[in-house]
């Protein structure tokens, strides 16, 4: 499967900036999007919950201004990471704000929710879902996810155990799973900065880069 239309002509490289707890805030997301990669942040980083409304408004406003000034190279879309487990008592409120601001992309974690995918589709958004194996990948696609985040060994967060190279090959080779995938793993190390999945992954894959996006003056 090809990339979602949302990404067409808007990515400088096919990468999603991982939604990092505490670290991913509007400054980082906006910088990522202007650089041509998908910027993302966890909804739960906005505290108190009302702050999410301000964050979304600011991100949209600054990216719209950038796009107006750079029509030849518009910014990449941004994404909001939602923890959809029943224990998240903010989910309903946060989803309402995502709908209000027509968030272009959501990354969901800890439970595939068909009704959430349908809601995002109604406002024109797409949903990528975190998975750690083929069982959960299959469930996510069945419930309407538009793409998968393949949480691989070393990715942190939800404890993936499979090599990213093997996970990508296995997932894209399955007949039930033709959705775009974004492998999540530490693709680059201090001693070797080559982002290997940029050259080895299928065309429908977008590596999700984590730690290297920690905010710096650059």
- pLDDT at res. 143: 95
Q: Are 29 and 17 in contact (CB under 8 A)?
A: yes
Q: How far apart are CA 25 and CA 41, in angstroms?
A: 6
Q: Are 98 and 125 in contact (CB under 8 A)?
A: yes
pTM: 0.84
Q: Are 131 and 87 in contact (CB under 8 A)?
A: no
CB within 8 Å of 95: residues ≥ 6 apart: 82, 116, 119
- pLDDT at res. 171: 82
- pLDDT at res. 162: 86
- pLDDT at res. 193: 34
Q: In this predicted model, what pLDDT tens digit does every residue of 146-196 receive, in sequence order?
A: 999 888 887 765 567 888 888 888 887 765 566 777 777 655 444 433 332
The H or E element that residue 136 is part of is helix 134-142
Distance of CA 6 to CAs 21, 66, 107, 124, 125, Å? 25, 17, 14, 10, 9
The angle formed by the CA atoms of residues 86, 116 and 182, to the nearest 5 degrees, is 95
- pLDDT at res. 156: 63
Q: Are 209 and 15 in contact (CB under 8 A)?
A: yes
Distance of CA 94 to CAs 39, 77, 170, Å? 18, 19, 34
Q: What's the chain's length in residues?
A: 218
Q: Are 134 and 168 in contact (CB under 8 A)?
A: no
- How many CB atoms lie under 10 A from the CB of residue 123? 13
- pLDDT at res. 87: 94
Q: How far apart are CA 190 and CA 133, in angstroms?
A: 28
**10-residue block means of pLDDT along the chain (218 residues)?**
84 90 95 96 97 98 98 97 95 98 96 95 96 92 92 72 82 68 60 32 48 52
How many helices and strands, by DSSP H and E, does the chain display?
7, 8
Q: Backbone phi, then psi, for 78, in 5-degree steps?
A: -110, 165
- pLDDT at res. 67: 98
Q: How far apart are CA 157 and CA 122, in angstroms?
A: 29
């Amino acid at each position: 499967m090809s990339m979602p239309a949302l990404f067409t002509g808007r990515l400088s490289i096919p990468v999603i900036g991982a939604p990092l707890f505490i670290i991913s805030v509007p400054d980082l997301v906006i910088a990522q999007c202007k650089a041509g990669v998908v910027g993302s942040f966890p909804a739960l980083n906005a505290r108190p919950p009302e702050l999410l409304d301000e964050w979304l408004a600011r991100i949209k406003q600054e990216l719209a201004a950038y796009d107006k000034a750079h029509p030849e190279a518009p910014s990449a879309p941004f994404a909001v990471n939602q923890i959809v487990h029943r224990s998240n008592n903010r989910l309903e409120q946060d989803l309402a704000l995502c709908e209000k601001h027509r968030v272009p992309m959501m990354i969901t974690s800890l439970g595939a929710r068909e009704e959430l995918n349908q809601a995002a589709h109604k406002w024109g958004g797409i949903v990528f879902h975190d998975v750690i194996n083929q069982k959960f990948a299959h469930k996510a696609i069945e419930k309407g996810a538009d793409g998968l985040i393949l949480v691989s060994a070393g990715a942190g967060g939800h404890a993936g155990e499979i090599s990213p190279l093997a996970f990508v090959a296995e997932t894209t080779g399955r007949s039930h799973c033709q959705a775009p995938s974004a492998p999540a793993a530490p693709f680059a190390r201090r001693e070797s900065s080559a982002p290997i999945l940029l050259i080895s992954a299928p065309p429908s894959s977008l590596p999700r880069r984590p730690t290297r996006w920690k905010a710096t003056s650059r």
